[in-house]
Amino acid sequence: MKSKILVIEDNEQNMYLLTFLLERNNFEVIQAVDGRQGIDAAEKNRPTLILLDIQLPVMSGYEVACELRKDPDFDTIPIIAVTSYAMPGDREKAMASGCTGYIEKPINPATFISDFQKFLPAHSSEKGSLP
Ligand code: MN
């Protein structure tokens, strides 16, 4: 069974790149393009991990993280903020909102998967499939 990764991202190019890198490494990707859709997709799909853009329509990434952390079902799921390198204040706010960690934008295709895998729960294997 593949690990499900929910990607909440409104930028088409970033969504394309994240989906491409994750699927190539055998993860299943669920896509959401705004904050509300992201929360709905999290409740419906119970992903292994959430990648969360901060600048989102409808609800910001901070609001999404805060709302998910209020739900006991989501109090341990890794939520990784995808924050702009140019906006260092975003990281602190993301962590204060309940995010587990952050990965910087622009996404570096050469290092993304290894950075990402550090945040996967221990029972998820390196390549996305459970052993
Ligand atoms: Mn965005």
Q: Report pLDDT digits (tens) over 79-99.
A: 999 998 777 788 999 999 999
In a domain, 49, yes or no: yes
Domain count of the fold of the chain: 1
Q: What is the pTM of this model?
A: 0.92
Integer-rounded Cα radius of gyration of the chain: 13
- Look up the CATH number of the domain holding residue 90: 3.40.50.2300
State mean pLDDT over 30-47: 98
Q: Determine the distance separating the centroid of ligand 1 and the alpha carbon of 51, expressed in angstroms.
A: 12
Q: Determine the distance separating the centroid of ligand 1 and the alpha carbon of 122, expressed in angstroms.
A: 29
Nearest Cα to 80, choosing from 110, 20, 120, 44?
Answer: 120
In a domain, 64, yes or no: yes
pLDDT score of 128: 55
In a domain, 42, yes or no: yes
Q: Determine the distance separating the centroid of ligand 1 and the alpha carbon of 54, expressed in angstroms.
A: 6
Q: Report pLDDT digits (tens) over 55-78.
A: 999 999 999 999 999 999 999 999
